[in-house]
Amino acid sequence: MRPDELAAHQLRRLNALAAEILPHNRFYAEKLSGVRWPLESIDRLRVLPYTTKDELLSGEQSPQRAANLTYPPERYVHFHQTSGSHGRPLVVLDTPADWQWWVDTWQFVLDTAELDPSDTVLMAFSFGPFIGFWTAYEAAVERGCLVVPGGGVGTRARLQLIRTAAVTAVFCTPSYALHLAETSAADHMDVAGLPVRKLILAGEPGGSMPSVRRRIEQAWRADVVDHAGATEVGPWGYGNTAGTGLHIVETEFIAEFLDVQTGQPAADGQLAELILTSLGRTGSPVIRYRTGDLVRPRRRTDGSNRFVFLEGGVLGRADDMLIVRGVNVYPTAVEEVLRGFAEVDEYRLTVTKAGEMDHLAIEIEDRLGQPRRVADELQLRLGLKVEVRTAPPGSLPRFEGKGRRLVDQR
């Protein structure tokens, strides 16, 4: 679409969303009171207030459920909750129509991965209340793939499933892709010899981080496709084939970008917080939702894909920034450096408070036992002088879902 065509499409979808939810949705009826609908221009979106996760957590319908539910409970059929990695878990419900919207939007990811009915895919996650790859499972089924559920079994059993079922695509987090490869190597079974040709990664940054992506692709000898989404928002992003970032599905989401320094609309290429409005989810809508994700947007006016591009994918979280000896640093930037060392199998960051400053210590499982070279690289790349020490092999936690490598003791 040309920019004017996309803006017209988004405006139609936004006005249709408002017409459906405002008579029933108490949260947004109060929040958007005084706004004249329908909006005459997509630019008028900027006069609407932001939505935050704290607001969604203050719902009166239930102590747990999100405050933005549109319909009575009997209209909903899917129950999921956020991981709780950034604050209290939030329960989000979906209607059958909303769930189908999730499944349809996931097809952008599967298109990029070039999956078709000849593929057999493994969903390597626990199938718990975290939304994870639940809708990816149904999207792959709808596409005609043979789908192998990987819940309720351990890492070695999943590796065996990949072999015996001749799995060609694995869905998991970046952390777990690395853990599968590490476990396979410990068992003298090379994942590169498996039939897997694609890894679809989500749940945490990594699929668009060069060192992480390179490490996974080299271990598996397979292509990585990145994906980004959120329980509160939906499956909003998919990686480009070069692996250098994410596209936002702008037919289903309106994206805005706030400069992290000024809070004003960010210019092209500036570090910004991502703001999203979901256009196809009426049961649990979010309008101008502050995701907390830090991105660097690039607008393209030519080529076959004009969806806004996020260079490097999700670069970090606004609430994860540390100030270590006057240096602003994000955990994802540290991971990018650490994953560049092939001999570093796992790591953990511990943050404490030293006066008014954050103090960062890093533990690494390093097969060379030479933490000094890692500390030197961190100082060279990030300007960060930090303590790096070795941990015994296999002593640091491994993760199936989102990696939790930052221990905050402040």
Q: What are the distances in angstroms from CA 409 to CA 352, 361, 362?
A: 5, 11, 13
pLDDT score at 83: 66
Average pLDDT of the chain? 90
Domain parsing of the chain, residue ranges: 1-317, 321-408
In percent, the amount of the chain with pLDDT more than 70 equals 95
Q: What is the mean pLDDT of residues 21-50?
A: 95
pLDDT score at 63: 46
Q: What is the mean pLDDT of residues 221-233?
A: 95
How far does Cα 72 stand from its chain's mean position? Answer: 29
Confidence check: pLDDT of 356 > 70:
no
Q: Which residue has the higher pLDDT, 321 or 335?
A: 335
Domain with residues 1-317, CATH architecture: 3-Layer(aba) Sandwich (3.40)
Q: Which residue has the higher pLDDT, 61 or 53?
A: 53
Lowest mean pLDDT: which of 236-240, 298-302, 324-328? Answer: 324-328
207 is written with which tokens? Answer: 């699929």
Give the C-alpha separation, 273 to 263, whole Å.
9
pLDDT score at 351: 85
SS (H, E, C) the chain: CCHHHHHHHHHHHHHHHHHHHCCCCHHHHHHCCCCCCCCCCHHHHHHCCCECHHHHCCCCCCCCECCCCCCCHHHCCEEEECCCCCCCCCEEEECHHHHHHHHHHHHHHHHHHCCCCCCEEEECCCCCCCCCCHHHHHHHHHHCCEEEECCCCCHHHHHHHHHHCCCCEEEECHHHHHHHHHHHHHCCCCHHHCCCCEEEECCCCCCCCHHHHHHHHHHHCCEEEEEEEECCCEEEEEECCCCCEEEECCCCEEEEEEECCCCCECCCCCCEEEEEEECCCCCCCCCCEEEEEEECEECCCCCCCCCCEEECCCCEEHHHCEEECCEEECHHHHHHHHCCCCCEEEEEEEEEEECCEEEEEEEEEECCCCHHHHHHHHHHHHCCCCEEEECCCCCCCCCCCCCCCEEECC
The answer to whether the CB of 146 falls within 8 A of the CB of 119 is yes
Q: What is the mean pLDDT of residues 245-272?
A: 94
74 is written with which tokens? Answer: 């009997």
Q: Which residue has the higher pLDDT, 359 or 228?
A: 228
Give the C-alpha separation, 78 to 72, whole Å.
13
> For 159-199, how does the pLDDT look when each residue is reduced to its tens digit (9 = 90+)?
999 999 999 999 999 989 999 999 999 888 899 999 999 99
Q: Which residue has the tokens 């249709």?
A: 16
Give the C-alpha separation, 245 to 224, whole Å.
12
> For 107-160, how does the pLDDT look when each residue is reduced to its tens digit (9 = 90+)?
999 999 999 999 999 999 888 888 889 999 999 999 999 999 998 889 999 999
> For 15-30, how does the pLDDT look when each residue is reduced to its tens digit (9 = 90+)?
999 999 999 999 999 9
Nearest of 266, 261, 277 to residue 310 by alpha carbon: 266
Q: Which residue has the tokens 């059993």?
A: 157
352 is written with which tokens? Answer: 């404490």
362 is written with which tokens? Answer: 């890093």
Q: What is the mean pLDDT of residues 33-47?
A: 94
Domain 321-408 belongs to what topology? Answer: GMP Synthetase; Chain A, domain 3 (3.30.300)
Q: What are the distances in angstroms from CA 164 to CA 103, 121, 137, 219, 410?
A: 28, 12, 19, 20, 47
The answer to whether the CB of 249 falls within 8 A of the CB of 237 is yes
> For 263-278, how does the pLDDT look when each residue is reduced to its tens digit (9 = 90+)?
899 999 999 999 999 9
pLDDT score at 338: 92
